[in-house]
Structure 1
Amino acid sequence: MIVAGVTVQGTDHLADATGCQDAFKARRLSGPPGAGPGVVLAVADGAGARHRSALGAHLAVDLACRLLADGVPAADADGGTWTAWAAERAGTLVTGWRRQAAALLGAGPGEGGGPGEGGGRRAGTAAGDPGDTAGRADPSRHGGARARAGARGGADQERAAGTGELAELAAGCAAAVLRPPWAAFVCVGDCFGVVLTRPASPGGPAERAHAVLPPPAAGDAPPLFLSSPSARARARSFALWDPDLSGLVLATDGCAPLVLDHPAARGLPPAAGPLPAEAFFGPLAETLRANGGDAEPLRALLSGAEAGRSGDDLTLLCGLTPTGGG
């Protein structure tokens, strides 16, 4: 399995010397003989207005990778089993993050999670388990969501992020398991996901990209973070099976202007929602397979002039099968 990820500080955050609040992490899946290769991917997006949200983002990806590596269904399990497992993991991610964040902040006894939810182990880090690769944001986040929240007023933003010290760690997170022909996703917040599949016929495009976890549309409910009171109820989770599954990509919402097309660009109505940019995903997957997962070309894409349109931090994490097929 080829894994490559990059975090790039947003231009707005460079201009105002705000630290980067994105994070990403990947973890190889172990399993019984014949289970096939697999990987867990996670990206997180801290709330730009919160001083400790970068720590909350690193806490989220660390916990998500550990939770989604636990109890992954067998490849021959049915869709109901995979879907129920993903839903349970989404709920556990929310409660586990809140307990671990409370423990990190020095809350009273009983607030820390159990072994399956982190329990404060390596709280706030994004590395440590064998087989992990971690992306650390060095120097921010959420210009888009911050602007939307500001338009709705401070009360909405406070309700969305929660209150008290926990809100200072506010972060959204998306995580996924890739074990072809299965993929399973959990998401709290504005991060999004794309899956890649082999071409339908010889001579077609190298790979097809499908937006399976779109970012929330403008005018949706207030921004959602793991610290939000409604996080568990509004968490998204699902599983999919596709014999042609060849990879997946997770990204924070700062990447949307670069990697997603407005439906009007394809002659479709707005209701069709954002669509993966064909000129981005196919060549990216081809490049990463050719260079064995060297992320430098990805960093160059996310650091270019076109990427600066969002002003926000940009994080993109790819998991690809080596041959472009399931």
Structure 2
Amino acid sequence: MIIAGASVQGTAHLAIGQGCQDAFKAVDLGDAAVLAVSDGAGSRDRSALGAHIAVDAACRLLAEDIPGAEEPPEAWTRWIAGRGRRVVEEYLRAVSGVLGTDPCAGTDPGSGPDSGPDSGPGPDPGPGHSGALAATLTAAVVAPPWVAFVSLGDGFGTLLTRDDRCHLVLPPPTAPAPFLSSPGAALRVRTFVVWEPELSGVVLATDGCAALTLDHPSVRQLPLEAGPLPAERFFLGLAATLRENHGDAEPLRSRLSGPEAARTGDDLTLLCALVEGG
């Protein structure tokens, strides 16, 4: 696998002296890889730490007991569903250890289904709770021809295939998304599996990358209902560059730092795994 990732501080955060609150982590297992990106909620205390806790938990748990390539879809589906719940539970346990709260009580009642990552601090969490360390998670286990996804929040995921096509298999949500610390997060985490025999790469991104990496359907003369589409020029160009330079992430960082990427002002994080020979 060729694995490369980068995080860039958003221009809006830079203007107010706020550091980058995204995080990413990858584990190279040889014939498989685990990828995780997280977007810390800028309106919450220590959200950057929450994002790092999220990717650590995801990479640790998703690297264990990965099914074999010959396993049926049912085995993969059961495995990733169980792992998704465990990632959320481990995140809550770690955050509760930092905050000194009860992990069974939840940590962030103010970030429920009607409160997205950038929608403000929400109601007062109340005694014994904290709105700190709120973060989202988008993770994938890449074990060709399988890709298993875990998602809670507003990140998105794209598959690349050997015939130079891009497939947005995990689109950004259309409604405000919960945090890992939202009540009932373990039951609301999205998990699913894709079988793609022509897989050549997987790319995960936080929502700050949407303007740079996703096209409006009108660009391809499609109706609005078609939803966002992966910008093939971006993804295929990035994959070609990373294959040529054997995974040097500097060109990726440069793209995330360019003027086009700065339109939203949000932090940008992108992480990819490219199949060797793909």
In structure 2, distance between residues paired with 1:79 and 1:163: 45
Residue number in structure 2 paired with 1:269: 223
In the TM superposition, residue 248 of structure 1 has moved relative to its aligned partner by: 0.1
- State which of 233, 247, 262 in structure 1 corresponds to 2:201: 247
1:29-61: CA deviation from partner (whole Å, max 9, x where unpaired): 26xxxxxx1110000000010121000000000
In the TM superposition, residue 166 of structure 1 has moved relative to its aligned partner by: 4.4
Q: Tell me the amino acid that sits aligned with residue 197 of structure 1.
A: T
Question: Is 2:69 aligned against 1:75?
Answer: yes
In the TM superposition, residue 97 of structure 1 has moved relative to its aligned partner by: 0.7
In the TM superposition, residue 234 of structure 1 has moved relative to its aligned partner by: 2.1
Give the SS at the match of 1:7: strand
In structure 1, distance between residues paired with 2:144 and 2:130: 37
In structure 1, distance between residues paired with 2:161 and 2:130: 40
In structure 2, distance between residues paired with 1:297 and 1:59: 27
1:151-300 aligned at under 5 Å gives the runs 157-158=122-123, 165-199=129-163, 207-217=164-174, 220=175, 222-300=176-254
Question: Is 2:32 aligned against 1:38?
Answer: yes
Question: Is 2:18 aligned against 1:54?
Answer: no
Percent sequence identity is: 58
Query: CA 1:106–1:281 in structure 2 vs 1: closer, same or farther (change >3 Å)?
Result: same
Alignment gaps of 5+ in structure 2: 105-115
1:130-153: CA deviation from partner (whole Å, max 9, x where unpaired): xxxxxxxxxxxxxxx555x25xxx
Query: CA 1:211–1:54 in structure 2 vs 1: closer, same or farther (change >3 Å)?
Result: same
Q: Tell me the amino acid that sits aligned with residue 62 of structure 1.
A: D
In structure 2, distance between residues paired with 1:146 and 1:274: 20
In the TM superposition, residue 163 of structure 1 has moved relative to its aligned partner by: 8.6
In structure 1, distance between residues paired with 2:100 and 2:184: 23
1:168-227: CA deviation from partner (whole Å, max 9, x where unpaired): 01000111000111100000101110011111xxxxxxx21100111111xx2x331001
- Normalised by the length of structure 2, the TM-score is 0.91
- Normalised by the length of structure 1, the TM-score is 0.78
In structure 2, distance between residues paired with 1:163 and 1:231: 21
In the TM superposition, residue 167 of structure 1 has moved relative to its aligned partner by: 2.5
Aligned-pair Cα RMSD in Å: 1.9
Is this contact kept in 2: 1:162–1:227, CA < 8 A? no
